[in-house]
Structures are given as C-alpha cells and as structure tokens.
Amino acid sequence: MCRASVLIMLLALRGEGRCADGLPPALLEAGADQVVARTDVPDAMRKVGEVRLVRRGVAVVVQTLLATKVLPRVVAEIGKKEAGNWPPGAAGREDMERYVAAIERAAGALRAARDERQDGDRRVRMVIELVATPEVAGLMVGTFGGTEVDGTLQPTERRPLETMALRKTYVFRNMRLILADAFHVPEGEVDRLGPLGPIAGP
Amino acid sequence: MTFRRLFERGRGPWLAIVALATLALGARAARVGIEHDNASLNAVDAGQRRVYDEFKATFGNDEDLLLALDHPALLDGRGLALVDTVTRALAALDGVRRVWSLTTAEELTAGASGAEPRPLVSPPWDAPDVRMRAVAALDRTPDLTGWLVSADRCTAGLVIELEERPGDVEYRTRIIGAVRALMVRYGRDGVTLHLTGVPVQKHDVAAYVDRDQRLLLPLAIVVLGATLAAFFRRPAGVLVPLGVAALTVVWTTGVYAWSGHALNAITSLLPPVLLVVALAASVHVYEMWRAAADTDGVGRALAAVRAIVVPAGLCAITTSQGFASLAVSDIPAVEQFGLFAAVGTAIAFLLGMTAAPAVLSWLRPPARSGTEHGATLWLLDTTSRLATRRPGAVLVVFGIVTLLATAAIPRIRANTDLVGFLRADAPLRVDTSWIDAHLGGTLPLDFVLRRRDGGPIRALDAYRRLGALEEAIRARPHVATVTSVLAVVRQVHRAESGGALALPDDDATLGDELDLIEESGHALVGRFAGPELRALRVTARLRAVGTAESAPLVEAIVADAARILGPAYSLVPTGALYHVVHDSTRLVHQQVASFATAIVLVVLAIGLLFRSLTFTVLALIPNVMPILWTGGLMGAAGIELSTGTAMIASAVLGLVVDDTIYYLAHYRHAYRGDAASAIHATARAVGAPITAASVSLVLGFWVGAFGSFKPTIYFSLLTGLTMITGVVCDLLVLPASLVVAERMGRARARPVTAP
C-alpha cells in the first residue's frame, strides 16, 4: 500500500469535518498525475484554458488550467455557472460560495501580481483543482508555470495559493457538472471519459 | 564537297529532321498550360514578396470574392431571407472558409458579464418587426455601411473568404462557377446579383487567354494567308512563308512549354506575334527565289539565300535584340514574352534560310509577268521620286510632325487598371462598376501598422492616432471606406461601458478591452489584428480606379501616417492591389531601360554591318521617328502606359529596323556614285518584299485587336501602326536623308558582300 493511501485512510478516520482547513498535502502532489482526458475551454477557437480529468493515486481530480488575459471574465463566467447549478436553498450552495470566493480571491491576487510584474506577458495562469477520494474532497487553487506545446498546456510547476476541504456531496456532483460542461456531453455521459472512481455515476 | 552539293544532299534529311522536331515540340506545344493566378504579371521583388507573405501569414488570404445583392426591399423579410439563403449556399461551397453578410454579422452588446456578441439580425424573417430591428442594428453599427450594406440600404454585400489551397488551381474556378450559377438562379423578380474580386479577375483573365488562343492564331493565319495570296498569287507564295511561320510558332511554343511556363495575358500574344514576325525572312527568300536568274531549282534557291542571308541575319539579330531587351523587366510575363519572342525570331531565321529554300528548290518558279506588284511599284516609284527631288521638304515635314509628337509624349501616364483592361461589356467589368457605384469601393488597399520597436500596440494614444489616420484616409479622394480593429475596439467599449461608440478614456480600460478582443478568438479580430497586437491591418476600399490614381494615393496615405502616427510607428502598404500599384510605378523606368537597351543593341548591330557612322545615324532616323509618333499619339489620345503598351517601343524597334536594313544593304550594293539612281533601283528591288512583309506584319498584328485585353489590343494596334509609319519613313525619310547626306558629301557607300 503506498504512502498516499495510508495517509488518506488516516485522514478518513479523522472524519470529513476535520479537514475543513485544507486538503492533505499528498492529495496535492501532482508528480505522478495521469491525464485521462483533456479539452480546451470554452472551445479551441476561443481557448482560455483546459479542463482535464486526472488520476492522482486513488484520487480523481478535475483540473482546470487557465492561461488567459481575461481572467476576471472567466471567473465571472464560472461564478455564473456555479450559481445556476447551485441555486439559493440548494444543498451545496454554501460550499459553492466558498469555492467561488476562493477562486475570486486567487484571481485577484494573480492579476495584481501580473500588473506589478509588467513584463509584457498579460496572461494570468491559474489552476483550479477539485480533488476527490472516497473519503475526502476539496479544492486547491493556485498558479502554474510552463507554456503551451502543440496546442496543449504543459504545466511545469504548480504553486498552491489556497486549499480547502469541501463537502463530498458538493464536490462529487460539481466535478461531474464541470466535466459535462467542458467536454460538451450530458452529465449522465461523463463516465465515458474514463474511470471516475468516487465520482462515478450510479 | 561544294556548298551546292551539300545543299542538294542534305535538304531531304534536314526536312525530315525538321518534321521530327516539329512532332516532338508540337506535342509539347499542344499541352502548354494557362496560368490561373496571374502571378507572372507581378514584378519579382523579394522585399515586397516578403512583406506580402508576412501579411498573409498574419491576416490570412486577402483575395476575397465580393457578391452584391440588390433587392427592392432588402431589409424586409423577403430581402433578408434571400441574403440568408444565398449566404448559406455560398458557405456550403467547397473551398469557402467563411461568408460575411448581414445575416452572419454580429454586433457586441452589453451582457451579464460585459460585452457579448449577438447576431446583427436574426430570424424569423417574416416577423413584423424585422425591418425595424434591422434598421436599428445597422444604425448602431455604422462600420458595416459600404461593406455589408449600401448607404441607401438597398444592396447587401456578401464577402466570401476563400481557403488558401496552393496546390489546387481549379477550386477557385469551381467556386466562381458555382457563385455565378447562384447569381442566375436568384437574379429574378427585381433582384440582381453582381460579383467581383481579385479571384474573379484571375479566373476571367485565364478564361480570356484561353479564348484568345483559340481565336487569334487561326485568325492571324487567315489574314496572313490572304495577304500573301494577294501579293504573290501563287500557292507557294502563301504556303512556304506561312509554313515557316507555323513551324516557328510550334517550335517556340513547344520550347516555352518544355521550360515549364504557362501562357499568361502577355505571353498569349506570342503565337500570333511569332506567326507574323517569322514571315519576313521567308517572304524575302521567296521573292528572291522568284526573281533569281538561275533556271534550276537548287541554283535559284541558293541564289535567294545568298542574296538575303546577311540582311536577314542582321534583321533577325535586331528583332531578337528588340524583344530580348524586354528581359530587363522584372515582370515575369514581359520577360518571358521578350525572351521567347527572341528565341522564336532566331528559329524563324534558321527555318527561313534552310527549310524554306529546301522546299523551294523542288518547286518550279512561276513565269515572270510585267503586271506583278503593279500598284506597289507605282507607289515605290512615287515615293522615291518625291524623296530624291524634294529631300529637304520631306525632312522638314517629317521633322515638324516628329517635334509635335515628341511634345505630346510627356502627357503619357502610367496606369494599370486590371478591370479596366477588359472590354466594356466583360461581365467582371460590368459587375465591378455596378458594385462600385451602388455598394462601395471594390479595391481593397491594405496597410500594416506596427510599432517600430516590434512591441504590442496597446496604448490609448496609438488608437487615438489610428482613429485620426482613418479620418485622414477617408477624406482622401477615391476612398470609399476605411476599416481596422478600431471598429471592434469601439464596439467592445460601448458594450462594456454602456456609453457611446468611442474609445475608452484611459489605458487601463483599453488594456482590459483589448485583452477581451484578443481572447475572443473571433474571426473578425483575426482579420484585422495580428498575434499580441503586434501588427494591425488597415484596409481602405477604393473606388474602381487605376494605378495612376492609386499610386499617389498610397504615397499620400503613407505620408499621412508618418505625420499622424509619429516616428514610433510604421504603416507599410501591401496586399494584392498594392503589388499592381507598385509594379505600375516601376513600369516607366523599366520602359526607358528596355528601350535604351534596344537602341544600343540595334545601333551596335547596324554599326557592325555597315561599319559607317553616317549609315548608322541615317538608319536610326526612320526608326526612332515612328516610335516617337506612336508615343505622341498615345499622349494625345490618352492611351496609357501599361504592361502591354510598355512593350511597344522595344519590340517594334527591332521590327521596323528590318526594312531599313534590307533597304540600306541593297542601296550600298546599287550605289554607283548617284544616290537618286541607287534609291530608285533599291525601291524597285526590295520595295515590294518590304511592303509585302510589312503589310503582312501590320495585318497580322492587327488581328490582336480582336483580343480580350486592352493592353494587348493597344499593343497590337499601335505596333501595327508604328510599322506602317516605319515603312513610310523608310520609303521617304531614309532616301531623303541619303540624298541630303550625299549632297553633304558624307555618304559614300561601300559594297556589302554576301558570304
């Protein structure tokens, strides 16, 4: 049994609520990531980034890599979709608000850093990961380095800005909704993209 | 072995070799292609080519089709429905990348997250408020007027972007054929459709080249055959010269095809021109063979060759030099025409001095009759009498005419108008004029704006300057519309801010809006802005004008840019239309260079033959005079210097000088101390074949008047006219000059001997 699995088992013993301040570091270790599926968002012509379905040990990750000059517009679009998917009163609404607030904070910080740099590169690079294991789920938002090679983003380094544990019910469903939207498939068909582990449909 | 025995034994095998070569080259000539992209009409200029290639790599193919749809009620449901139907039909054609029209255009509006694209007009087309919505949308987007809709809103423009398929020469032909079929299909019930654009120009020019090939060559054969029949009244007098000319055309066209060339608007003239040029030597051979005193065929044929080979050889050299001087042109079509016409002239000499006498040696000469060339001889006697009795008067009259003509030469203007080159009833010319009058400019003149340090153009000041430049360009004559990324920036700002159609007030806002434009991935942005905004395209659509108007306009716009944009920016003209403008302005310089080359080469050739400065000068007078007259006629009649007419002087110099050479060669032979007697003898001896060859040449050239392009029509008519005036000068000015020179004690002839 690998170290990550052991750690996850231990974390699971601690219970969901105990992870509220962040995700276990092992779940953020991307060195052995396996990309199962990837697509440009919103499409190849208007590409602002990519959404990837990633296997990270026992965890499944929906990773959104954004490299765009219009990050506030993209974050606003994400917020709009989230609000539509999780209307007031719906279970998960509170997690959604925390999720959106976190990426807005990160976007603001990254944009401010870009304006300070003034190196001529106006693209802001932001990574958003929703991570799910059978036992724990949460969010990592940060930035990444690297360039696009042959039309595909090749992140060479990731620097988390914020992590938070979120309720599994929200994260599991939201990961399916993000995949459906990015890959332009109905939510019920996202299982065709690859093995989804804990977020697989019934 | 004597030359006679060599000729007797070798003539059969030589004719067999000629036949085999004709079969081989004829097979090649039959497969000569036709150029589909007019590429050879553009000058070879590496700098311009690089700029244009960069432009196309950044902004895509600039050769769009423009279809105008005129509808009695365009903005009502029926009109918009038809625009939509035609747009969809065009977009479905293989090779069409995109169609811009009223029903595919978008406007930017304020959405929940800021600017959002929305269709300019949308179905259902039979909704009661469709007209009102369309009018309001067009009022909100004034940049579309003159491009996708006319100012009176009766005509819609459909801009058809084509894919770039370098290896496929036929797809444009298929698309244009399909578009014209759609025009027929939907052009009824008061609806008219009109098509123009650079691809149509290329397509139609190729079609006209093909048509001219099928018409002009047979017509030239008929005209030349009839002319020769009228002069010689013998089948051999028609068939031998015409046969040599036909073989010359086949051989030269075969070599042309073999070297990998395809016929273009200029080289399509090669076959009829060569047919005509190749006649001269064999006409002289035939006439000398007919007039020879020998009784046996071989003796007569050899006598004819001996009498003619030196002047004919010199004529071949001067004619070749005249054509070859066109090779100084950096327009490949003109260069190819010059080189292959020179090659054809050499082939004509070879065949005229070998194959023609070989055939004639087997024929029985016609009995001489006193009525031969009766009218011609009367004319020759009259002119030689006039020239010898009143040489001073002849020179004064011709000198005055020459001075008057020279005074009109500066009025010639260089102008290339590709659509104007076509006949007035050509569909492309009719359609282009219609679109020009009803929709907006049809000629897209492109410029690329860059920062001199290569950086991205993001400063508000730069966009304000660009706006001022657009205004300055728009105020220039012949400019219908000006388009750049500025139109998109203003729309984005209006949608983002909810204000007016204007630029933002600060750099930060502009920066965000430029980010939005860049990241939109919209095709319209790619059409006007390069990656990272390091290059911006500015397109001025011009009314249908020629390069005489557009060349100074380009200079004025570049000067405007230097003044308004300042030293930090550069505005470089480029694009398909600019290539034509650029080439046209160089045409005059090349014309001067080509003519100077021709003069020098011809002077050298004549000087070498006669080895007399006086004769060389005397030979030049009757040859330069007709060219100056033609130049004066062009200036007075407003005939412009274009790709075709620029070739006249150089090409015709090599031709008209032939008659002078034949004349002077015989004159020196006949001169026995009395110029008048030698002139009369010369006129009677060489006047008839000179006249026959010249009349054949003139009529042969005039066949080109039935061609499809004005430059080639003018080339044909003016070359023929110059040759007529050249013969007149040879028969009047040259003998008058000889008499005057003799009186001045300067002309003392030395016999010219044939080898």
Shortest alpha-carbon distance between residue A118 and chain B (Å): 13
Asked whether residue B748 carries a pLDDT value surpassing 70, the answer given is no
* Least-confidence region, from A165-169, B69-73, B210-214, B706-710: B210-214
Q: For an interface test with B, give the residue of A48, A71, A77, A122 to mutate (most B CBs within 10 A).
A: A122
Confidence of residue B131 (pLDDT cuts 50, 70, 90): very high
- pLDDT, residue B232, reads 81
Asked whether residue A2 carries a pLDDT value surpassing 60, the answer given is no
**Adjacency order of strands within the sheet including B569-574:** B479-483, B535-542, B443-451, B569-574
Q: Do A46 and B519 count as a contact with CB atoms less than 8 A apart?
A: yes
- pLDDT, residue A16, reads 37
Confidence of residue B615 (pLDDT cuts 50, 70, 90): confident
Give pLDDT tens digits for B269-293. 788 788 878 887 888 888 888 888 7
Could you tell me if B107 and B491 are in contact, meaning their C-beta atoms sit under 8 angstroms apart? yes
Q: Do B114 and A73 count as a contact with CB atoms less than 8 A apart?
A: yes
Asked whether residue A9 carries a pLDDT value surpassing 60, the answer given is no
Residue in B113, B455, B512 nearest the CB of A80:
B113
In terms of CA atoms, which chain A residue is nearest residue B457? A120
Q: Do B519 and A48 count as a contact with CB atoms less than 8 A apart?
A: yes
Asked whether residue B657 carries a pLDDT value surpassing 50, the answer given is yes
- pLDDT, residue B494, reads 92
Q: Tell me what the mean pLDDT of segment B442-466 comes to.
A: 95
User: Please, what is the average pLDDT of chain A?
Assistant: 86
- From chain A, which residues contact B within 8 Å (Cβ)? 45-48, 68-70, 73, 76-77, 80, 120, 122
CB contacts of A70 in chain B (<8 Å) are 512, 515-516, 519
- pLDDT, residue B510, reads 94
* Least-confidence region, from A92-96, B306-310, B336-340, B476-480: B306-310
Residue in B113, B515, B522 nearest the CB of A77:
B113
Q: For an interface test with A, give the residue of B515, B522, B533 to mutate (most A CBs within 10 A).
A: B515
In terms of CA atoms, which chain A residue is nearest residue B458? A120
CB contacts of B520 in chain A (<8 Å) are 46
Domain boundaries, chain B: 3-38+203-364+378-417+582-743, 64-196, 441-544
Q: Do A122 and B511 count as a contact with CB atoms less than 8 A apart?
A: yes
In terms of CA atoms, which chain B residue is nearest residue A75? B113
- pLDDT, residue B754, reads 30
Q: What is the pTM of this model?
A: 0.76
In which domain, by residue range, is A82 found? Answer: 3-15+23-199
Tokens representing B433 are: 């004029």
Give pLDDT tens digits for A37-52. 999 998 887 789 999 9
> How many separate domains does chain A show?
1
Asked whether residue A148 carries a pLDDT value surpassing 70, the answer given is yes
Shortest alpha-carbon distance between residue A1 and chain B (Å): 46
B523-532 long-range Cβ contacts below 8 angstroms, 24+ apart: B523/B98, B524/B488, B525/B485, B525/B488, B526/B59, B526/B60, B527/B59, B527/B60, B528/B59, B528/B483, B528/B484, B528/B485, B528/B488, B529/B485, B529/B488, B530/B58, B530/B59, B531/B58, B532/B456
DSSP B73: T
Which residue has better confidence, B481 or A11?
B481
Asked whether residue B749 carries a pLDDT value surpassing 50, the answer given is no
Q: Which CATH architecture has domain B3-38+203-364+378-417+582-743?
A: Up-down Bundle (1.20)
Shortest alpha-carbon distance between residue B251 and chain A (Å): 53
- pLDDT, residue A21, reads 61
Confidence of residue A17 (pLDDT cuts 50, 70, 90): very low
Asked whether residue B132 carries a pLDDT value surpassing 90, the answer given is yes
Q: Do A69 and B521 count as a contact with CB atoms less than 8 A apart?
A: no
Residue in B511, B516, B521 nearest the CB of A73:
B516
Q: Hunting for tokens 């000539």 — which residue is that? A: B29
Give pLDDT tens digits for A182-202. 999 999 999 999 988 889 877
Asked whether residue B747 carries a pLDDT value surpassing 50, the answer given is no
Give pLDDT tens digits for B343-387. 999 999 999 999 999 999 888 877 665 555 677 788 888 999 999
Q: Tell me what the mean pLDDT of segment B244-266 comes to.
A: 91
Q: For an interface test with A, give the residue of B507, B514, B519 to mutate (most A CBs within 10 A).
A: B519
Cα separation of B685 and B310, whole Å?
Answer: 16
Asked whether residue A129 carries a pLDDT value surpassing 90, the answer given is yes
Percent of chain B with pLDDT over 90: 45
- pLDDT, residue B421, reads 84
Q: Tell me what the mean pLDDT of segment A23-33 comes to.
A: 86
Q: H-helix or E-strand containing B8? A: helix B3-30
- pLDDT, residue B99, reads 96
User: Please, what is the average pLDDT of chain B?
Assistant: 87
Total residues found in chain B within this entry: 755
In terms of CA atoms, which chain B residue is nearest residue A74? B113
Residue in B112, B114, B515 nearest the CB of A69:
B515
Q: Hunting for tokens 């007209």 — which residue is that? A: B131
What count of CB pairs under 8 Å joins A to B? 29
Q: Tell me what the mean pLDDT of segment B654-683 comes to.
A: 86
- pLDDT, residue B561, reads 97
Q: What is the torsional sign of CA B729, B731, B736, B741? A: positive
- From chain B, which residues contact A within 8 Å (Cβ)? 112-114, 455-456, 511-512, 515-516, 518-522
Give pLDDT tens digits for B82-102. 999 999 999 999 999 999 999
CB contacts of A45 in chain B (<8 Å) are 521
Is the complex ipTM more than 0.90? no
Q: Tell me what the mean pLDDT of segment B624-632 comes to.
A: 91
Instruction: Identify each DSSP E strand in A11-151 by its residue range.
Output: 34-41, 49-56, 59-68, 124-132, 137-149
Q: Do A70 and B519 count as a contact with CB atoms less than 8 A apart?
A: yes
- pLDDT, residue B28, reads 93
Residue in B113, B114, B519 nearest the CB of A69:
B519
Fold of the domain built from segment(s) B64-196? Alpha-Beta Plaits (3.30.70)
Tokens representing B698 are: 């003139």
